Structure formats: structure tokens, C-alpha cells
Amino acid sequence: MKGDYQDLVDEISALLGAPATLENRDFRLIAFGAHDSDDDLAMDPVRTRSILTRQSTADVRSWFEGFGIARATGPVRIPAAPDAGVFRGRICLPVRNRGIVQGYVWLLDQEPGKPGPGPAALDAAMEVAQRIGVLLAEEARAGADLSREFLAVLTAGPGWQQDMAVAALRAALGPGGDGLHAAVCVAPWPGEAPASVPGAAAVCVVPRRRGGEPGGAGGPGAAATPGAGPEPAGDPALAVLLRLRSTDALAPALAAVARLLPRAAEATGPGGKGASGSVGVAGTTVARGMTAGVADPVRGLADLPAAWEQAVAAARAAAAQPRFGQVAQWSAIGPYRLLATLGADPVDDPAARTLLTPANRELARTAEVFLDCAGQAGRAAAALGIHRQTLYYRLARVEQLTGLDLDEGEDRLLLHMALKASRLA
């Protein structure tokens, strides 16, 4: 796809001499220009929240829409309203394509008494906004039009069926099919796919097959069954095929993924949707505990099924290990790169079975930290905040419960794998 949202936003900022922000029609941030002013009024609460959280509240959206921006075909000036957190007036440039609003470009209006941008500059900025509208509309159409082809690639059995699915998706993408892409898994994902995801070549919802893994017969952790297709069971996952500029420029892709996830405060805090979920992209209800996995970049589409397996594994690792955060890259999840592909059923090794019961939770944590520290007692005791003698006592109890010898490398490996795998259950 031609152009780049950030470049176009910077072009508008240069034309009008003010930092601009671009949001989609659901008031989710896509790009914003740099702001180097010392004016405190410029970074009012509404603009600060939009940039930091990548979205605006429903009240802010309703307030701005009250000025007719969804129907406007030209610039709309909105006055300051300190009570609403808008300390400086705004200029809104509606982003439209074929009469349909796709988003909005926002600029801070000049201070009272100072001349603002003239008609010629605003007309030029509106021309750039129209180019943005074309990009947003093309992305929305592409994501919707290619969902079937994308889903077929992720759920087809191996061999000729998968080859045909990849060929169909490549033909649908055109020249872009040979470019650089990253596969993303967001799970769990209740409801339909979002109308658009910035930077996405295709988006689809993948039903979960038996065992709770997203994907079809060719997905991770399942025996391949040619022609089996998806087997809905449990929660589905959202699959996103993101365009990349280079293998070392994942930041835009990660930002796009982050916008799909609910903020922790929305998912669990007062006034949110509670345990059932919270409102996400385009009003979609999203579940608590949602995580995302990002695969290593691939060039072309032949490796897309394997990349999807990586994305699924990374999303599972993020759900299992809080230190990864909500978005995990496959390249950074360490042993979970292997463990997450072993299957959805928890590992039930008899040696670790008793240790993994709730009654022995503290002993299991002690063993895991000790093994994470490569068997170095001093490091492990410090990490656990206990005396070294207490550590030795607990490790002796672990050996009694498991029948394993923690001085033996293979016994350590078995226990370490069982402890890590239990997080994925």
C-alpha cells in the first residue's frame, strides 16, 4: 500500500504549522506528530490521554461528535472547553472516502488573538486528509475481502491444500504478497474481527479447535489431518497479517497490536465490564486476560503457517508468564518457544504431579526459581527472600516429593520443563 500514515500526518503538521494527530472513526489513535512547545495548554487532558492510551473515552467522543464532525466535509473549528478537559480549541479535518468518514485529523487551534491557518493551507491539508481516507478505506476493504483467504491458510491441512490456500492469498494480495509481514495472534477474541487494523494486510477470526488451540489441522500441538479444517471449540483467536518495512522495524506492528488489547483498568477496574470483558476496537467486547503474540517477520507467504504457530505460542506464553506483558514476541519467550508448541493438554508427569498440587505451591515456586537461577543457591535464596538454609530444606522436600535428584542434569531438566509447562495449562 502506498504512503504511510505518519508521513501524511507530518505533512499536515508542516502545512498548518501545528502538531497533528490521526484517529480512526472510532477515535483510536493511528499516528501523531511531535510536539515541542512549552505551552502547558497544548497538552490538555484530552490530548494527553489520547496519545498515552491510544484512544478517547466515550464521553469525549460524544462531545466532539456534537459539533457535527461525522457529517462535515471540511474543517471544523471546535472551541476550548476547560470543563471538558479541552484547554485549547481544535481544528478537526474529517478524513473521508467516497462520502464515508474514515477518521479524523486533529490540530490545536491558535491561541486567541493569533492568526490561525488560512483557507489555502486548510485546503491543502484537506487534500492530504483525502489521501489518508483512501488508505484507511483500502485497508478496511482489504482486511474484510481477504479474511476468507487468510483463514484458509491458517486452517488448511498440510500439503497441497495449504499450498493452494497460500497461492490464493498471494494472488489476492497482489505485489504486496511478496513483501515482509508479521503474523499476530490475539486471544481470546470474542465476537467479530475489527473493521480495520492500521498496517494490516488481512484480518480474520480463527475458531479454536479441540484442545483449545487456535488454528486448524495444521496448527501447533495437533496431529495433522488433511482437509480437517477448523474445529470450533472454546474461545476463538484474532489473526492479523501486518505489513512491515524491515525486519528490524517491528515497533509499528507492536503499536498496532497494543491498540487491539484492552487496558488493564478497563478490563478489571471500577466502571469497566468486570469479569466478562471490556469494550475494545470498534465496540467489540474483548475478554479479560487477553494477550497477543507476534511471530518473527517472514518474506512472502510460504512460511505464514509456521509464523502463525509462532504467534500462537507467543500469545500462550504471554498468558502464562506475566513478565512478558500482554504482547510477547516469539523471539523473546525463551523455553516457551518449545513448550507452547507441545499441545494444549497440560503435562502430567508423575514425578511432578504431587509438587504441582495447590498444597505445595510454595515448594514448586522455590524449585522453579532455583532452576531459573541455574542451580545457584545464593542467587535463588536472594530472589526468594529466604535464608540459604531454608532454601536447602525446601529443595530436600522437593526431592522427596518428586523422587528426582536435583544434582542430576536430566532430573533438573525434567522438573524445569514440567514447572514451565504447568503455566500453560
pLDDT digits (tens, 9 = 90+) for 181-238: 999 999 999 888 887 677 788 899 998 654 445 554 333 333 333 333 333 335 799 9
Find the distance separating the first CA and the last CA of the chain, reported in whole Å. 40
Contact 51, 29 (CB under 8 A): yes
Are residue 101 and residue 213 in the same domain, yes or no? Answer: no
- Domain finish residue from 122, 138, 154: 138
Residues 220 and 173 in one domain: yes
- For residues 226 and 317, state if they share a domain: yes
Q: Which of 9-13, 43-47, 83-87 has the lowest mean pLDDT?
A: 43-47
Give mean pLDDT, residues 342-371.
82
Q: Could you check whether the bond before residue 175 is cis, i.e. omega within 30 degrees of 0?
A: no
Residues 271 and 357 in one domain: no
Q: What is the pLDDT of residues 133-170, one digit of tens each?
A: 988 887 766 555 688 899 999 998 888 889 999 999 88
Q: Quick check: 342 and 221 in contact, CB under 8 A?
A: yes
Contact 162, 229 (CB under 8 A): no
Torsion of CA 159, 162, 163, 164, to 10 degrees: 120
**pLDDT for the residue numbered 314:** 92
- Residues 244 and 187 both lie in one domain: yes
Write the DSSP assignment of 14-53 as a string of letters. HHHTS-EEEEETT-BEEEE-------TTTS-HHHHHHHHH
Query: What's the domain range around 278?
Result: 146-339
The number of domains in the chain is 3
92 with 170, same domain: the answer is no
Q: 322 with 367, same domain?
A: no
Asked whether residue 10 is domain-assigned, the answer is yes
344 located within any domain: no
pLDDT of res. 276: 32
Kindly state whether residues 124 and 161 are assigned to the same domain: no
Q: Is residue 398 part of a domain?
A: yes
330-341: average pLDDT: 84
Domain end marker among 138, 168, 191: 138
pLDDT at 400: 92
Same domain, 334 and 248: yes
Q: What is the CATH number of the domain that holds 368?
A: 1.10.10.2840
Distance of CA 348 to the CA centre of its chain: 31
